[in-house]
Every structure is written in C-alpha cells, then in structure tokens.
Amino acid sequence: MACALRFKNVTLGYDRHPAVHHLDGEVDTGALMAVVGPNGAGKSTLFKGIVGTLKPLAGRIERGELSAREIGYLPQAAEIDRTFPINVYDLVAMGLWHRTGPSGGIGAKARASIEEALAAVGLTGFEDRAIGTLSGGQMQRTLFARLLLQDARVIVLDEPFNAVDAKTSADLFDLVQRWHGERRTVLTAMHDIDFVRANFPETLLLAREPVAWGRTSNVLTPDNLLLARRMCEAFDEHAGECLERAV
C-alpha cells in the first residue's frame, strides 16, 4: 500500500531540546490514526513537523507528492483573533485559498461548496454571524467547515474534540469518518483512550519518543500506557548532546 507520510529517524524540538525523539515509520494512504500520549508527549510538536511549520532537528519527513502546504491542519489552539470583524461565511471561505489564491473570485460553484460545508457541520443560517459571537463548539464546527473546503488528501487534527460537548464531538467525528471513507489520510491527537479503542484502527503512542505504533488493540495495552506515563520526563535545561543513532 502506498504511504502518505514517512518518518525517517525524525527528531523534532525547540532550541535543540528534542520533544519528539527518533521517530521512524510510515502512515499508509487512507489510514485513520490516533496519536495518543500524556501532555507534553510531543503530539503537537509532531503535527507541526508534519505540516512544515517546525523544521526537524534531525532526520526527514517525506510527504509523497504532497507539499506541506497541501496538508489540512487544525491546531490545538488556533491563533484566531476572535475580535476581528469578519463573519462565519468569510472565515470558512478561507478554506478555498488553494483554489482562489490572493485574488481569484468566488463564483457560484464555490459559493455552493461553502454552503455545503456549512450544512455539513450544522451551521446553516450562521453565515452572517460575527466570529466573536460564536461559542467554543460553534467555532470548532466553523473550523471543520473550513477544513472540508481545503479538500486535503492528508488531514491533521490536534485534539479537535477538547472542550466541546458530546453532540458536537459526535457530529465532527462523523466528518472524520467521512474523510476516512473517501480514502483521505487522517491523523488525530486524542486523550480519550476508550474513544480511540472504539473508533481508530491504528494508533501511535507517543511519550517524547515512540512507545508503540500499530493496531490500536496491540498499542493501547496497560503496560504500554504505564510506560508512556513514566517516559514523559521533564525538559532538562542542561541536557547533553544526543549521540544515539547520530546521522
């Protein structure tokens, strides 16, 4: 099976301190994969590496024919200025950037797809609402609508169901499954272990380095989870240089 993402001894981090250490492996095209690990395990760091906003300290991330910019990405805490005077419709329309660029028009077809995306996340009728008036769950629905329009082959979601109610997360997970059905590759950082066991075929357990990666039932064993918690040791200001598998 073709692979969408390939990690070659990737180390990602900040200021030379690794947050994800020596990751090797492949994500198959069309995979639905959960990334699980305690806070500080490096999940967000890994995602920033995948979408190219963080350069690896060592190793390589291969994205097949995709460029980093073609990967759909929902960050954990979007840097959205909620006071900016813009409405839901325009924020969602940003998802069409890859088709419109800075000055392309938004024609009848594009408008129909925006309406469709809004309907898919249950926000029909919210077009003219200022983004500052949305609740947390409505904002997350808006961002999913924007992701829908991006029409990306690889989608990376960083804890998308945090701080949203059960109905919202169920609705939004329906979209994730729809993407999975369309053979898109979806990576999702998750904390809800039971939910992952029930819904994700594949899991990467991360604790600053990979603990286990594969079929969810083989990965999320009590032993592995305990190991992951222990391995999330603190950031050491005076850490020495890492010589393991130096390239």
Residues of this chain that interact with other proteins (CB under 8 A) are 51-53, 69, 71, 73, 75, 78-81, 84-87, 91, 94, 97-98, 100, 102-103, 130-131, 146, 150
In the complex with other proteins, the residue whose CB is nearer, 102 or 222, is 102
> 234: which DSSP letter?
P
User: Closest Cα partner for 152 from 49, 65, 36, 55?
Assistant: 65
In the complex with other proteins, the residue whose CB is nearer, 96 or 219, is 96
Cα–Cα distance for residue pair 230/86, rounded to 1 Å? 45
In the complex with other proteins, the residue whose CB is nearer, 129 or 191, is 129
Minimum distance from residue 71 beta carbon to other proteins (Å): 8
In the complex with other proteins, the residue whose CB is nearer, 9 or 100, is 100
Beta carbons within 10 angstroms of residue 13's beta carbon? 19
Minimum distance from residue 217 beta carbon to other proteins (Å): 33
In the complex with other proteins, the residue whose CB is nearer, 91 or 175, is 91
Minimum distance from residue 132 beta carbon to other proteins (Å): 9
Minimum distance from residue 51 beta carbon to other proteins (Å): 6
Integer distance in angstroms from the first to the last C-alpha of the chain?
28
Task: Enumerate residues 6+ apart whose C-beta is below 8 A from 223.
Answer: none
Task: Enumerate residues 6+ apart whose C-beta is below 8 A from 65.
Answer: none
Cα–Cα distance for residue pair 225/156, rounded to 1 Å? 23
Minimum distance from residue 187 beta carbon to other proteins (Å): 15
